[in-house]
Amino acid sequence: MVRSGTVVLDDFNLDIPAGKVTAIMGPSGSGKTTVLKLITGQLRPDQGRVLVGDVDVGRLSKPELNRVRRHIGVLLQNGALLTDLTCFDNVALPLREHTRLPEPLIRKLVLLKLQA
C-alpha cells in the first residue's frame, strides 16, 4: 500500500479472530491507521485483498460495506472521528445506524449536540 508516495504496507498479512479484541500498535508512520482504514473499507488496497470474514471489503459497494461495518468495532485513540465523514455525520452515525428516528429529528439532535 502506497500513501503519499511512500510504501506503508508491503507483503502484509494480518489475521484477527472473530470476537477477539486486538490492539494495533506501532510508532508513528508505521501503517496503523492505514491498516484500520483498509479493514473498514475507508481505503482500497493497491494490490491484494482485504477480507473481513469471507468478504473482500475492497470490492464492496457503499451499502454492502455498511452492512459489513456493522460487524466491526473500532476504538480509536483519543476518540477520533471517521475521516471520510463530516463532523455532523460522525455525530449522526449512531443515531442513523441504531435507531429508527426520522432524519429531521436526527438533524435537530445533532445540531443541538454540536452547539452544546
Q: What is the pLDDT of residues 75-107, one digit of tens each?
A: 777 767 777 889 999 999 989 988 899 999 999
Structure confidence at residue 9 as a pLDDT band (50, 70, 90)? confident
Domain containing residue 98: 85-116
Question: Is the same domain home to 40 and 97?
Answer: no
pLDDT in tens, 22-65: 888 888 888 888 999 999 999 999 889 999 988 999 999 988 99
Domain total in the chain: 2
Q: What is the pTM of this model?
A: 0.66
Alpha-carbon separation of residue 81 from 76, 85, 86, 92, 96 (angstroms): 8, 8, 9, 12, 16
Question: Is the same domain home to 76 and 96?
Answer: no
Interhelix angle 103-115/87-98, nearest 10 degrees: 130
Alpha-carbon span 7 to 63, nearest angstrom: 30
Q: Give pLDDT, residue 29.
A: 82
Residue 31: closest CA among 56, 51, 13: 13
- Strands 2-3, 6-7: parallel, antiparallel or unpaired by DSSP? antiparallel
Question: Is the same domain home to 92 and 69?
Answer: no
Which of 1-5, 71-75, 89-93 is the least confident region?
1-5
